[in-house]
Amino acid sequence: MNDGPTLNNLRPEKFLIVHRPHGNMFHHSYGKTSKFFMGLLEGKLYGTKCPKCGLVYCPPRAHCFNPKCRLEETKWVELSKKGEVHAHTVMAIAWPSMAHLQPLVGAMVRIDGTNTCLPMTMRDIDPEKVNIGLRVNIHIEKQPKGDLLDVYATPAEKPKAPKRTPEELKRFREDMEKTRAWVKKTFGK
């Protein structure tokens, strides 16, 4: 349990914010994992499978990381759009393109039939009720851009809140209320 001060007990500070507009254009290749990202543009989810040991990776790997396979080249397989939450976090501060979704739930989801977890956001769920083992449906944005942010999950079952002490629950709810108030003030939502 975190025994540190809650947000309402922290001293307010003034921070200098400097605005210096600039931009960078990056061009890069996804290389041998390009099929995964091109699949997102088609609404499909791909992983890679080692022909030697059978491990299935998502995010995909061009070569198997099992030491016994000695970097065997993997083969592409289409994946299910169902999975299970293996880890999660609730973010009260998100990167600018996702700030309007705060509080934002980030999850590591093991897609059915795979041996690894794919990071994604969760939607249509009360952050208080996200739990490890929750079954999820995996979605791809209606207008995908071909990057990992195109993938998100929603509950496939009625979520049950994990067990928390009354103090933990109170603190969690206070923090979420402050986050929601900031989002409403900032974005009018």
Q: List the single range of 60-74, 94-108, 112-126 with lowest mean pLDDT.
A: 94-108
Same domain, yes or no: 102 and 166: yes
Tens of pLDDT, residues 4-57: 666 666 666 776 766 777 777 777 788 899 999 999 999 999 999 999 999 999
Instruction: Indicate whether 97 and 74 sit together in one domain.
Output: no
- What residues contact 59, with CB distance under 8 A and at least 6 apart? 33, 36, 47, 116, 118, 148
121-178: per-residue pLDDT in tens?
A: 999 999 999 999 999 999 999 999 999 999 999 999 999 888 999 999 999 999 889 8
Q: How far is CA 84 from the centre of its chain?
A: 12
Instruction: Indicate whether 66 and 89 sit together in one domain.
Output: no
Residue 90 belongs to what H/E stretch? strand 82-91
Please indicate, yes or no, if residue 18 is contained in any of the structural domains: no
What's the pLDDT at 1?
A: 55
Structural domain includes residue 100 = yes
At 179 the pLDDT is 85
DSSP-derived secondary structure letter, 156: S
Torsion sign over Cα 137, 141, 144, 146:
negative
Q: Which domain holds residue 129?
A: 81-189
- Residues 142 and 87 occupy one common structural domain: yes
Are residues 138 and 71 part of one domain? no
CB-based contact 80:47 (threshold 8 Å): no
99 occurs within a structural domain? yes
62 and 155 in a single domain? The answer is: no
Residues 6+ apart with CB under 8 A from 96: none
Q: What is the pLDDT of residue 155?
A: 98
- pLDDT value at residue 166: 93
Domain stop point among 79, 111, 141: 79
The pair phi, psi for residue 34, each rounded to 5°, is -55, -35
